[in-house]
Structure 1
Amino acid sequence: MTVLVYCDRCGEATAEGDHTACAAARQLEPPRYCPDCRRRMKVQVVPAGWTATCVEHGVRRS
């Protein structure tokens, strides 16, 4: 399992604060921030799923 440096929903450091609400929300929506560099990602949602693109770390898919 990969340890995320930043929360992919709120963009804050995963070691700081409570991300329970973020984890619950991520069940229904795509990530908004890159968990590696905290950059805002370009997100595209389609009926079959989603893609989120970080300019530094590439594409993540559902």
Structure 2
Amino acid sequence: MDMDERYNAFTGQRIEPGFDDPTPTAAALGLEPPRFCARCGRRMIVQVSPDGWWARCSRHGVIDSTRLEHR
């Protein structure tokens, strides 16, 4: 796998430079957590709670909505 490959976190499709990569409306509004790992495209385990969400890739670990909000 190429280290520069990126994947859409909401569709799991590989992002091709120069091609449109639409984000679902709910995801763009921040209402939907990512379902796929942006680094490898694997489906993640996702847990949603009233105050946020976390998602875990078997290869790349956990991401958390609270960590993303501080960026």
Q: State whether structure 2 residue 16 is matched by structure 1 residue 42.
A: no
Other-structure match for 1:51: 54
Structure 1 gap segments, 5+ residues each: none
In structure 1, give the amino acid aligned to 2:8: C
* Normalised TM-score (structure 2): 0.71
Q: Distance in 1 between matches of 2:24 and 2:6?
A: 14
Cα deviation, residue 13, structure 1: 1.4
Q: How many residues align?
A: 59
Q: Distance in 1 between matches of 2:5 and 2:63?
A: 14
Cα deviation, residue 18, structure 1: 2.7
* Normalised TM-score (structure 1): 0.80
Q: Percent identity?
A: 44
Large movers: runs of 4+ above 3 Å: none
Secondary structure of 1:25 counterpart: helix
Q: Which has the larger Rg?
A: 2
Structure 2 gap segments, 5+ residues each: 66-71
